[in-house]
Amino acid sequence: MSDSERESDDSSGSLLVTGGTGFLGLHTCQYFRDQGWDVTAFDLKPFEPNDDTDGIEFIEGDVRSEASVADALEESDATAVVHTAAALPLWDADRIRETTIDGTRNVLWAANDRDVERVCYVSSTAVYGTHDTHPITEESPLDGVGPYGEAKIEAEKVCQDFRRMGMCVPIVRPKTFVGPQRLGVFQVLFDWIEDGANVPLVGWGNNRYQLLHVHDLVTAIELLLTEDEESVNDTFNVGTDEFGTMKEDFQAPIDYAGTGKRTIGTPAFLTVAVLRVLDELNLSPLYPWVYETAHEDSYVSVEKLKGLGWEPEYSNREALVETYEWYLENYEADEEADESGLDHRVAWDQGALAVAKKVSQRI
């Protein structure tokens, strides 16, 4: 179907969302369902019992399996794919590569074989590593940190290969995104805030660190699935356009909580060294991409995406406060749950950080 035929069709199309029950996947499924699309989620595990999934189909499967992906595309009759399925940085290197690189190749081959119109690949700004010059643009050098960042770069190369074969494969590089349902490392932050602890930072907190609300990411994806192919068959940064320093923005949910506590700066070299040791001993949920870069400036230009008409709705502070509000209203710790940190929708075992929280509560 051509772009003009898509515009004249009363229906929006059929969408397959890989990683569809994860944090981004769930929001993507719900948003496109509400926009009139026929939506199918494809993932290793089903939705949570309380998820709003009316009108969303679910297919269990693994992007690492060529047959599983092909069957999902056949069953869903998808005209477009949003490929959100991904490994986490804390996974082992082999699993990261299999999921991120091989999984992306499997999705694209299956989509190519079925003449799927578009596949939007969700990459990451982790492909840039750290830069001295900001804002980072889509043309900035790539230097992925660790197996996660390196695998994202390789997966983007796979996408570019399929573009050369004639496919439309928009790529988004989002900043760290938050919003309702987001737990993971942010649950650690919110737990400290709720319990009335000061929040120590890596470094003094004077660095500018851009975030993103998941809603703004999903509307960017919508744009890349619906605008003309010539405009979107490219790579785009995604992040908020309103953000301050780390200590300013992360103070917002603390102030909302009304505990009178503060963000507290620390010597970056010392804090990184301690977190590195705890990481090596498996006593902290924080992985290198978090603690090695949290004291650096980190923000990207979103002017290229804005040129297509996209505008973010949320600032850093608004995104953090709304996510914390959701946490207070919805999160209940499950002592029997396996909180192993396998995705962003579960709480992570704080390990030694739980002891540090008790100290911070008394400061």
Q: Do 278 and 129 lie in a common domain?
A: no
Position 30 in a domain: yes
Residue 307 lies in a domain: no
The residue with greater pLDDT, 148 or 217, is 217
Same domain, 124 and 193: no
Residue 156 domain-assigned (yes or no): yes
Predicted pLDDT at 12? 79
Distance CA 308, CA 170 (A): 13
Considering the entire predicted model, what is its pTM?
0.93
> What pLDDT does 311 receive?
98
pLDDT of amino acid 349: 81
Contact 236, 173 (CB under 8 A): yes
Structural domain count, the chain: 2
pLDDT in tens, 118-161: 999 999 999 999 898 999 999 999 999 889 999 999 999 999 99
Predicted pLDDT at 5: 41
Same domain, 94 and 222: yes
The pLDDT of residue 362 is: 75
Rounded average pLDDT over 213-228: 98
pLDDT at 106: 98
Residues 71 and 42 in one domain: yes
User: Does 40 share its domain with 144?
Assistant: yes
Per-residue confidence (pLDDT) for residue 10, from 0 to 100: 46
Give the pLDDT confidence score for residue 348 in this predicted structure. Answer: 74
**CATH code for the domain in which residue 120 is found:** 3.40.50.720
Examine the pLDDT at 2 and tell me if it is beyond 70: no
Structural domain includes residue 291:
yes
Residue 283 dihedral angles phi and psi, to the nearest 5°: -110, 10
Describe the crossing of helices 185-194 and 353-361 by its angle, rounded to 10 degrees.
30
pLDDT for residue 240: 98
Q: Judge whether 308 lies within some domain.
A: no
Q: Which pLDDT band holds residue 354 (cuts at 50, 70, 90)?
A: confident
Asked whether the beta carbons of 30 and 18 are under 8 A apart, the reply is: no
Asked if the model's pLDDT at residue 7 lies above 50, the reply is no
Distance between alpha carbon 90 and the CA centroid of its chain, in Å? 14
**Based on the domain organization, do 81 and 115 belong to the same domain?**
yes
| Domain shared by 27 and 173, yes or no | yes
Q: Is residue 289 very low, low, confident or very high in pLDDT (cuts 50, 70, 90)?
A: confident
Whether 161 maps to a domain, the answer reads yes
Q: What is the CATH number of the domain that holds 263?
A: 3.90.25.10
Last residue of a domain, one of 197, 222, 238: 238
> For every residue of the chain, which 3-state class applies, written as one string?
CCHHHHHHCCCCCEEEEECCCCHHHHHHHHHHHHCCCEEEEEECCCCCCCCCCCCEEEEECCCCCHHHHHHHHHHHCCCEEEECCCCCCCCCHHHHHHHHHHHHHHHHHHHHHCCCCEEEEECCHHHHCCCCCCCECCCCCCCCCHHHHHHHHHHHHHHHHHHHCCCECCEEEECCEECCCCCEHHHHHHHHHHCCCCEECCCCCCCEECCEEHHHHHHHHHHHHHCCHHHHCCEEEECCCCCCEHHHHHHHHHHHHCCCCCEECCCHHHHHHHHHHHHHCCCCCCCHHHHCCCCCCECECCHHHHCCCCCCCCCHHHHHHHHHHHHHHHCCCCCCCCCECCCCCCEECCCCHHHHHHHHHCC
- Report the pLDDT averaged over residues 261-284: 95
| pLDDT recorded at residue 345 | 74
Q: Tens digit of pLDDT for each residue in 81-103? A: 999 998 888 788 999 999 999 99
Q: Which residue has the tokens 């917002």?
A: 252
Same domain, 196 and 69: no
Residues 215 and 253 in one domain: no
The per-residue pLDDT for range 301-352, each reduced to its tens digit, is: 999 999 999 999 999 999 999 999 999 999 876 655 544 555 677 777 888 8
pLDDT tens, residue by residue, 41-75: 999 999 999 999 999 999 999 999 999 999 999 99
Same domain? For 224 and 286 the reply is no
- Mean pLDDT of all residues in the chain? 92
Q: Are residues 255 and 327 in the same domain?
A: yes
Task: Tell me if 149 is assigned to some domain.
Answer: yes
State which of 238, 255, 282 marks the end of a domain.
Answer: 238
Residue 279: give the domain boundaries.
185-209+242-297+315-361
Residues 29 and 122 in one domain: yes
Phi, psi of 148, deg, nearest 5: -65, -55
304 assigned to some structural domain:
no
* Domain termination site, one of 238, 255, 279: 238
